């Protein structure tokens, strides 16, 4: 029963010590679906997107598209989006605050309706999340930007291609500038662009509907402006972070897992680290297999970096694994300012971790014990599930709504793979 005004947060109850074994199919990538949904606004036509995960963040983006005037229909994991109607240029504050990555709508709205109004997304669980690089790039395309009272107003009578150099290979800034340059007159070059696979997926979708984009995955992305776009159909790439998280679940419990629908290339930084920790990983008949040792080895240093470096979204899950590995490891979080919030809860479970700014020193313990812990952000929550799976005794994990943002029914999948985990 939901008490009025009281937000009852769901919990996971996990009995540790069970191996994770079996087969799992990995779904489409959250961080690919979000910018591609925004991109559908550009065409004013119909887009059919397959393998869209059923996640809170994706449903929020669908709500935003509907409020802006798009018609959106979900049929299982396929979403049909028709953006032929009148499109609003104001993104509702309440929805931007619920999901800061809605900022990627800025570039899409500027391209489609030549103006946009959106509130500053503000910080989130893992850091201040500025958008200075987004705005600097958009201004170079000729966008007039005014900021007042926490709101950004953009006008762009005519967008002109530009040669833009990003001070940092920001994923969101690359996506926003890319979306704003599709109709810009002439050529746009984005230098020091983010190389994450999700950028490549966005490029592929844009080209399917008639844009002229090349270079995604390299340092420089080139866009030739076009006049209009068409209908399109696209299947989202598999989620490399969800895949890495399930691999870590097997590794944390000494289990053996087969993962289907994997893009091996995208998984390389994660595969390398798990092999270094003692896992055996091989690819056979289109599936990836991981077999884990009884106890993982520590690694001297793990440094999170932009792709193709080790992904920051896997930092928390790997810290959970290293908490029980043999030896001492150092984790350096170079991407976000405040992404060690899961450490205090791991310490409750017996982990020996010292954090100093962006550095965590992890002295592996032979055992962790179940405890009452709380998810404080999406990937930190997932890390605590992994710790609970391998801890002795019962772990009660609060605020699992954080985890719903990025993992579809993770407790049901883990149950099918042998875990003793229930959601209440
Ligand atoms: C995307 O966030 C992902 N989100 C994040 O995944 C991911 O961790 C991140 O890229 C890095 O890979 C989505 O794709 C929806 P950034 P984004 O811009 O675009 C600084 C998850 O768990 N920066 O590459 O916000 C920024 O402060 C989420 O799925 C500026 O300084 O990442 C950060 O320190 C979490 N100015 C760094 O760059 C700017 O204008 C990386 O941010 C933009 C960014």
Q: Rounded distance, CA 383 to CA 342, Å? A: 7
Task: Tell me how far the alpha carbon of residue 352 lies from the centroid of ligand 1, in angstroms.
Answer: 29
Tell me if 28 sits within 8 A of 238, measured CB to CB.
Answer: yes
In ligand 1, the atom with minimum distance to the C-alpha of 128 is 27
Q: Rounded distance, CA 382 to CA 211, Å? A: 37
Angle 239-286-36 (CA atoms, 0-180°, nearest 5)?
30
- Tell me the two tokens of residue 280: 């055996």
- Tell me the two tokens of residue 212: 């002229």
Question: Three-state SS for 205?
Answer: helix
Residue 317 CB contacts under 8 Å (≥ 6 apart), including other chains:
244, 245, 248, 379, 382, 383, 386
In ligand 1, the atom with minimum distance to the C-alpha of 311 is 12
335 CB within 6 A, ligand 1: yes
Question: What is the per-residue pLDDT for 172?
Answer: 98
**What does each C-alpha distance from 54 to 28, 50, 354, 362, 406 come to in angstroms?**
10, 12, 36, 34, 9
Residue 7 CB contacts under 8 Å (≥ 6 apart), including other chains:
none
166 CB within 6 A, ligand 1: no
Per-residue DSSP letters for 126-184?
TB----HHHHHHHHHTT-EEEEETTEEEEE-SS-B--EEE-SS--HHHHHHHHHHHTTS
How large is the C-alpha radius of gyration of the chain?
A: 22
Question: What is the per-residue pLDDT for 125?
Answer: 77
Task: Tell me how far the alpha carbon of residue 327 lies from the centroid of ligand 1, in angstroms.
Answer: 31
Pairing of strands 301-304, 328-333: parallel
**Of 349, 295, 300, which is closest to residue 324 (Cα–Cα)?**
295
Per-residue DSSP letters for 2-66?
--TT--PPP-EEEE------EEEE--B-HHHHHHHHHHHHHHSSEEEEES----HHHHHHHHHHH
**143-166 exposure pattern, b = at least 16 Cβ within 10 A, e = fewer:** bebeeeeeebebebeebebbebeb
Q: Which long-range contacts (CB under 8 A, 24 or more apart) does 351-355 make?
A: 351/323, 351/324, 351/387, 352/323, 353/319, 353/323
**Catalytic positions, written as ranges:** 124
Task: Tell me how far the alpha carbon of residue 30 lies from the centroid of ligand 1, in angstroms.
Answer: 13
The protein residue whose alpha carbon is closest to atom 19 in ligand 1 is 172
81 CB within 6 A, ligand 1: no
Q: Rounded distance, CA 303 to CA 102, Å? A: 28
pTM: 0.97
Question: What is the per-residue pLDDT for 128?
Answer: 81
Task: Tell me how far the alpha carbon of residue 365 lies from the centroid of ligand 1, in angstroms.
Answer: 32
First to last CA, the chain: 12
Q: Rounded distance, CA 50 to CA 35, Å? A: 14
Q: Rounded distance, CA 336 to CA 357, Å? A: 11
315 CB within 6 A, ligand 1: no
240 CB within 6 A, ligand 1: no
Under-70 pLDDT residues of the chain: 1-8
pLDDT (tens digit, 9 = 90+) per residue, 218-270? 999 999 999 999 999 999 999 999 999 999 999 999 999 999 999 999 999 99
Question: What is the per-residue pLDDT for 412?
Answer: 98
């Amino acid at each position: 029963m939901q008490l009025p005004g009281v937000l009852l947060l769901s919990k996971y109850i996990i009995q540790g010590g069970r191996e994770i074994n079996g087969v799992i199919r990995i779904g489409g990538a959250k961080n690919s679906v979000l910018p591609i949904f925004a991109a559908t606004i550009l065409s004013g036509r119909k887009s059919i997107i397959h393998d869209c995960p059923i996640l809170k963040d994706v449903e929020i983006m669908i709500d935003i598209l509907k409020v802006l005037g798009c018609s959106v229909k979900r049929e299982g994991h396929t979403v049909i989006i028709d953006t032929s109607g009148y499109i609003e240029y104001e993104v509702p504050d309440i929805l931007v605050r619920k999901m800061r990555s809605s900022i990627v709508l800025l570039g899409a709205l500027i391209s489609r309706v030549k103006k946009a109004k959106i509130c500053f997304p503000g910080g989130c669980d893992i850091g201040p999340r500025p958008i200075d690089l987004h705005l600097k790039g958009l201004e170079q395309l000729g966008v007039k930007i005014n900021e007042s009272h926490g709101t950004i107003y953009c006008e762009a009578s005519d967008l002109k291609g530009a040669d833009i150099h990003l001070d940092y290979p920001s994923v969101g800034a690359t996506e926003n500038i890319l979306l704003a340059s599709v109709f810009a007159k002439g050529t746009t070059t984005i230098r020091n662009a983010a190389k994450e696979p999700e950028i490549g997926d966005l490029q592929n979708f844009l080209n399917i509907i008639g844009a002229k984009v090349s270079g995604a995955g390299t340092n420089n992305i080139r866009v030739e402006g076009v006049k209009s776009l068409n209908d399109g159909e696209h299947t989202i790439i598999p989620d490399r972070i969800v895949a890495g998280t399930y691999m870590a679940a097997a590794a944390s419990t000494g289990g053996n897992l087969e993962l289907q629908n994997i893009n091996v290339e995208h998984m390389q930084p994660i595969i390398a680290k798990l092999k270094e920790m003692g896992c055996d990983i091989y690819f056979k008949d289109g599936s990836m297999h991981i077999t884990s040792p009884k106890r993982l080895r520590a690694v001297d240093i793990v440094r999170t970096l932009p792709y193709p470096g080790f992904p920051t979204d896997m930092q928390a899950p790997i810290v959970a694994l290293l908490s029980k590995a043999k030896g001492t490891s150092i984790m350096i979080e170079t991407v976000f300012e405040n992404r060690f919030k899961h450490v205090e809860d791991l310490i409750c479970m017996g982990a020996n971790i010292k954090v100093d700014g962006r550095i965590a020193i992890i002295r592996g313990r032979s055992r962790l014990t179940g405890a009452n812990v709380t998810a404080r952000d999406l990937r930190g929550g997932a890390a605590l599930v992994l710790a609970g799976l391998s801890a002795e005794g019962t772990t009660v994990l609060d605020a699992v709504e954080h985890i719903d943002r990025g993992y579809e029914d993770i407790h049901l999948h883990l149950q099918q793979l042998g875990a003793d985990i229930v959601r209440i």
